[in-house]
């Protein structure tokens, strides 16, 4: 018999949740679990697609609206911002600006997240791998702050959301002719996002939820316009690329081939 629990997913900016954990979020909600989305920053330093913002509208305001819409698509019960500023890309002066998430004091930031974990009596927390999947300062800080918050709150299961690099490289090479014609397509020979397959502990099948995941991406139109690589993928290629989500379980290693965040 299903015993519902609470999944808290911790992300750096609005839209990260749709790409990295959108399928797991939708699956958890469909199975009766409570899904809580915590975002560290407003993403105000992100690039914005032309023509998206209304006159006088700032990007953080628009991204908060988009996040609400994406949350609705994924079945999210609660959305919280930690209140930090977007740190910008690695090497930018904004990395160390007052209020920037990347410059936040570790225990202070972790305490903010831990308070939510305790309030929700969270069973599962997702963060990022130690490189933040691709090295963004805010993503790396999500790893550090999230790991510490899980310790402070005593959260039973903490997973690092990541990417199976080997899987995606093989997919890109196999479908090179098809994907190579899409603007912004990554080069499989230079693809360094995520971790090798050998580092993955948990592979979650979210194939039944790729429609919701795609809808959540579309909700983030300021960051993922219709002409983006993600949304230009043919539907079968989109399902193959985004129908699995990968995690590294912290602490005790799980049974070989763990397939769900709420498995016994």
Q: At what angle do helices 16-30 and 59-74 cross, to 10 degrees?
A: 30
pLDDT tens per residue, range 198-227 = 999 999 999 999 999 999 999 999 999 999
Phi, psi of 90 (to 5 degrees): -55, 135
123-146 CB burial, b ≥16 within 10 A, e <16:
bbbbbbbebbbeebbbbbbbbbbb
pTM greater than 0.75 (yes/no): yes
Residue 37 lies in a domain: yes
Residue 258 lies in a domain: no
Residue 255 lies in a domain: no
Q: Domains in the chain: how many in total?
A: 1
Q: Which domain holds residue 240?
A: 6-249
pLDDT tens per residue, range 229-241 = 999 988 898 999 9
Residue 1 lies in a domain: no
CB 183 within 8 A of CB 229: yes
Please tell me the distance from the alpha carbon of residue 46 to that of residue 44, in angstroms, as a whole number.
6
Alpha carbon 81 to its chain's center: 14
Strand partners, 245: 204
Residue 262 lies in a domain: no
Residue 260 lies in a domain: no
Beta-strand runs (E) in the chain: 6-11, 34-41, 78-84, 124-128, 157-162, 202-205, 244-249
Domain with residue 45: its CATH number is: 3.40.50.10320
Residue 69 lies in a domain: yes
pLDDT tens per residue, range 30-74 = 999 999 999 999 999 999 978 889 999 999 999 999 999 999 999
Alpha carbon 38 to its chain's center: 10
Please tell me the distance from the alpha carbon of residue 140 to that of residue 54, in angstroms, as a whole number.
32
Contacts of residue 236, Cβ cutoff 8 Å, sequence gap at least 6? none
Residue 183 lies in a domain: yes
């Amino acid at each position: 018999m299903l015993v519902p629990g609470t999944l808290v997913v911790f992300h750096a900016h609005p839209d990260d949740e749709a790409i990295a954990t959108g399928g797991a979020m939708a699956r958890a909600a469909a199975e009766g679990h409570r899904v809580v989305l915590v975002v560290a920053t407003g993403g105000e330093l992100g690039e914005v697609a032309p023509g998206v913002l209304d006159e006088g509208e700032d990007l953080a305001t628009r991204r908060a609206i988009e996040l609400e819409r994406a949350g609705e698509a994924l079945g999210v019960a609660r959305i919280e911002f930690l209140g930090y500023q977007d740190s910008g890309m690695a090497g930018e002066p904004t990395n160390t600006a007052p209020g920037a998430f990347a410059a936040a004091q570790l225990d202070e930031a972790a305490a903010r997240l831990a308070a939510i974990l305790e309030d929700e009596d969270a069973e599962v927390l997702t963060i990022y791998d130690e490189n933040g999947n691709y090295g963004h300062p805010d993503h790396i800080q999500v790893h550090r702050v999230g790991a510490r918050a899980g310790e402070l709150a005593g959260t039973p299961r903490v997973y690092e959301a990541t990417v199976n690099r080997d899987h995606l490289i093989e997919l890109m090479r196999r479908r090179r002719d098809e994907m190579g014609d899409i603007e912004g397509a990554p080069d499989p020979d230079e693809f360094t996002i995520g971790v090798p397959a050998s580092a993955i502990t948990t592979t979650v099948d979210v194939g039944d939820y790729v429609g919701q995941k795609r809808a959540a991406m579309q909700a983030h139109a300021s960051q993922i316009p219709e002409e983006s690589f993600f949304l230009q993928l043919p539907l079968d290629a989109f399902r193959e690329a985004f129908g699995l989500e990968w995690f590294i379980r912290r602490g005790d290693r799980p049974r070989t081939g763990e397939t769900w965040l709420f498995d016994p």
